[in-house]
Amino acid sequence: MKIIIYFLTFFLLTSCSKENDKYSEINLKMENVEFIEIQNPIDDVYMWGIKKDTIYPNDKNEFSFRKKISRPQHINININGEIIYSILQPNNKLSISYKDSSFVFEGKNKAGIKLLNNFKRTYYSFSEAKKYKKDSTSNQIKKSINNQKDKEIQQLNNLINDNVINKELAEVLKDEIDYYYSNRTLEIINDKLSNTTQNNEDLNNLFFVTIKKHPLDNLYKSSSWNEYANSIHIRKPITDLKKQNIINQDSLQNWWKNDKLHEFKYDLIDNVKNKFIKEKISANYLNYSLKQNNFERSLIDLFKKFKESYPNSKYTKYLKSDVIKIEDYYEKISREMPNTVKFVEENNISSLDELLNIIKGDKYYVDVWATWCGPCKEQFKHNNKLNKLLKSKGYKKLYISLDKSENTTKWKKDIKYYELDGVHFLANQDFFVHFANNYSSYKGSVSIPQYLIINEKGNILKNNAPRPSQLKELSEFLN
């Protein structure tokens, strides 16, 4: 009898264990893909670039990802630079393949994942803000937002009515839609309030009605959660302080120049009442600021403050590596400028033609960059392999910085830190305008990084050359 009781107890325990072990699986079948990256949320919140699982294929060119979860999570899948969005669900499998120049989804709820990837979402840029220029009242803003939002809601309702997605995914997709457009509403309001000295009670009411209807402590944290939190707890307080004449644009600019701006914004986050929400916003702010690679000393102190406030935070280990970079930066810039770095000293060069006339006689790979350009600095990590390729082809490197003259010190510090061996030139305003109108990839404006190939005569062979990260394409061109 005891044996039967023991067996029954063991069966119940193992059954409970299996019930609690809820996994989500994604299987991808891809040709000519070396690896894929799964960008995961940490503690329910996705943060740009800080948690990636690199997946390599098996002998059948299949990529498999499996994760234990207790509730749905939003993830990004990076395949050769192309991003696929997906929702991980407990006890759910999704298969992805590439056919006829598009991704194909298979498995339960595949229609919902396809819909998620069909949403056409844009960042709130200057051109995006112009779409709402005529919307001056809360009713006008709501009408413009709902015109876009209702189309997506209707697509979701069609899937629900056709019974092709389950209730759980339907609720998650509803949150994805709600929070994206709630944040867009707040972005429009913040933009309009910051461009006037008047306090607008109508827009303020819409702001608070929106965040009351869609709070930050929602169980599912959508892909828009970080931007939404920033709109509420950083952008809006800054706008309000400007309205009260406590701060102005000049004071913000001075804090930025003197490395006090991060401390000011971090203090705004301290006003958040919910400690769990505060931790996530603080971690996201630090992560985003650190990833810009501007190497502000203040971020070291704020990281220490974060660790003191949240000694058991899951985010700490991901933030630490970027803090170490800043410490490394200050050690490197304390050194002398290496003799492998040369400067074009003439400060009255007003065009690329004049510059190339001075340095002609050698072949150059030209890197147009600036210290404030994150993507430019991201490319520097490929310099070791790039330098070997250029040397084998008889090319030297010319770096043209579009920094303003007041950033000369920062410019030279970054040259030391990134070990940018080669010839360097700091462009003036005339050079910038001439380059934008004649040699930019986007005539009339400048988008960097940009790379050019120059021959011995100072002639431009290509003004939109492959990047350092595109060594194969660059090698083929140089050949």
Would the pLDDT of 425 be above 60? yes
Phi-psi region of 361 (alpha: psi -120 to 50; beta: other; left: phi over 0): left
pLDDT, one tens digit per residue, over 306-317 is: 999 999 999 999
pLDDT, one tens digit per residue, over 398-414 is: 999 999 998 999 999 99
pLDDT of residue 13: 40
Instruction: Please state, as a whole number, how many other Cβ atoms lie within 10 Å of the Cβ of residue 422.
Output: 19
Q: Does 471 or 48 have the greater pLDDT score? A: 471
225 shares its domain with 270: no
pLDDT of residue 198: 67
pLDDT of residue 28: 93
User: Which domain covers residue 158, as residue numbers?
Assistant: 119-244
In a domain, 142, yes or no: yes
Instruction: Please state, as a whole number, how many other Cβ atoms lie within 10 Å of the Cβ of residue 181.
Output: 21
360 shares its domain with 430: yes
- Nearest CA to 338 out of 398, 394, 417 is that of 417
192 shares its domain with 237: yes
pLDDT of residue 1: 42
Would the pLDDT of 140 be above 70? yes
232 shares its domain with 262: no
Would the pLDDT of 241 be above 50? yes
350 shares its domain with 474: yes
Residue 20's pLDDT band, with cuts at 50, 70 and 90, is low
What distances in angstroms separate CA 469 from CA 375, 397, 423, 477, one per listed residue? 11, 15, 20, 14
Average pLDDT over residues 83-107: 91
pLDDT of residue 7: 41
For a pLDDT cut of 90, what percent of the chain falls above it?
Answer: 79
pLDDT of residue 17: 41
pLDDT of residue 12: 40
| CATH number of the domain that residue 44 is part of | 2.60.40
94 shares its domain with 151: no
Is the Cβ–Cβ distance between 233 and 268 less than 8 Å? yes
pLDDT, one tens digit per residue, over 63-75 is: 999 999 999 999 9
In a domain, 74, yes or no: yes
Final residue in a domain of this structure, among 244, 261, 290? 244
Average pLDDT over residues 134-146: 95
- Crossing angle between the packed helical segments 167-194 and 138-161, to the nearest 10 degrees: 170
In a domain, 7, yes or no: no
**Which residues touch 141 (CB under 8 Å, ≥6 apart)?**
132, 135, 185, 188, 189, 203, 206
216 shares its domain with 271: no
pLDDT, one tens digit per residue, over 267-319 is: 999 999 999 999 999 999 999 999 988 899 999 999 999 999 999 999 999 99
Is the Cβ–Cβ distance between 39 and 52 less than 8 Å? yes
Hey, what are 205's tokens?
A: 């009411």
| Residue found under tokens 């944040």 | 183
227 shares its domain with 255: no
The pTM (predicted TM-score) of the whole model is 0.80
In a domain, 398, yes or no: yes
pLDDT of residue 16: 43
DSSP-assigned letter for residue 338: P
| Residue found under tokens 């990590």 | 381
Would the pLDDT of 21 be above 80? no
Average pLDDT over residues 117-126: 88
Count of domains in the chain? 4
pLDDT, one tens digit per residue, over 182-208 is: 999 999 999 999 887 667 999 999 999
pLDDT, one tens digit per residue, over 338-386 is: 999 999 988 789 999 999 999 999 999 999 999 999 899 999 999 999 9
**Which residues touch 267 (CB under 8 Å, ≥6 apart)?**
none
- Nearest CA to 36 out of 82, 66, 79 is that of 79
Hey, what are 310's tokens?
A: 């949240």
pLDDT, one tens digit per residue, over 38-49 is: 999 998 898 888
Final residue in a domain of this structure, among 84, 109, 134? 109
251 shares its domain with 208: no
Alpha carbon 2 to chain centroid, angstroms: 60
197 shares its domain with 227: yes
In a domain, 114, yes or no: no
Full strand arrangement of the beta sheet holding 102-106? 62-68, 23-29, 92-99, 102-106
Q: In angstroms, rounded to a whole number, what is the distance separating the alpha carbons of residues 132 and 405?
A: 36
Q: In angstroms, rounded to a whole number, what is the distance separating the alpha carbons of residues 154 and 149?
A: 9
In a domain, 8, yes or no: no
Is the Cβ–Cβ distance between 13 and 77 less than 8 Å? no
In a domain, 14, yes or no: no
| CATH number of the domain that residue 426 is part of | 3.40.30.10
Would the pLDDT of 11 be above 60? no
Q: In angstroms, rounded to a whole number, what is the distance separating the alpha carbons of residues 363 and 386?
A: 15
Would the pLDDT of 52 be above 50? yes
- Written as one string, the DSSP assignment of 372-432 is T-HHHHHHGGGHHHHHHHHHHHTEEEEEEE---GGGHHHHHHHHHHTT--EEEEE--HHHH
- Written as one string, the DSSP assignment of 98-143 is EETTEEEEESTTHHHHHHHHH-------HHHHHTTTT--SHHHHHH
The average confidence (pLDDT) of the chain is: 91
pLDDT of residue 195: 81
204 shares its domain with 173: yes
260 shares its domain with 352: no
**Which residues touch 79 (CB under 8 Å, ≥6 apart)?**
28, 30, 33, 36
In a domain, 4, yes or no: no
Final residue in a domain of this structure, among 91, 109, 127? 109
Is the Cβ–Cβ distance between 326 and 359 less than 8 Å? no
Would the pLDDT of 333 be above 80? yes
